[in-house]
Amino acid sequence: MTGLTYTTYTTQVAELAVVPVTDPDFQTILPQVINYAELRLQRDLDFLNTTTQYSYTATPNSQQLNFSGYPFVTIQNVGVADPISTYVKQCTPVTKEYIYSVYPIGSTAALPTFFSLFDDNSLLLGPIPDQAYTFYVTGTIRFPSLSASNPTTFISTYLPDIFVIASMIYISAYQRNFGNMQANDPQMGASYEAQYQLLLKGAMVEEARKKFEAGGWTSMSPAVAATPTRG
Predicted local confidence at residue 137, as pLDDT: 94
Predicted confidence band at 181 (pLDDT cuts at 50, 70, 90)?
Answer: very low
Q: How far apart are CA 198 and CA 42, in angstroms?
A: 16
Give me the mean pLDDT over the 30-43 stretch: 94
Predicted local confidence at residue 180, as pLDDT: 47
pLDDT at 173 over 70: yes
pLDDT at 159 over 70: yes
Q: Is 5 exposed, middle or buried (0-12, 13-18, 19+ CB in 10 A)?
A: middle
pLDDT at 223 over 70: no
pLDDT at 189 over 70: no
Predicted confidence band at 134 (pLDDT cuts at 50, 70, 90)?
Answer: very high
Q: How far apart are CA 131 and CA 105, in angstroms?
A: 15
Strands 114-119 and 134-140: unpaired
Predicted confidence band at 185 (pLDDT cuts at 50, 70, 90)?
Answer: low
Predicted local confidence at residue 182, as pLDDT: 43
In the chain, what percentage of residues exceed pLDDT 70? 89
pLDDT at 112 over 70: yes
The answer to which of 65-69, 125-129, 198-202, 215-219 has the lowest mean pLDDT is: 215-219
Predicted confidence band at 206 (pLDDT cuts at 50, 70, 90)?
Answer: confident
Nearest to 70 by CA among 80, 55, 81: 55
Peptide bond before 93: cis, by omega within 30 degrees of 0? no
Q: What is the mean pLDDT of the chain?
A: 87
**Bigger pLDDT: 68 vs 38:** 38
Q: Residue 198, by phi and psi: left (phi above 0), alpha (psi -120 to 50) or beta? A: alpha
SS3 at position 133: coil
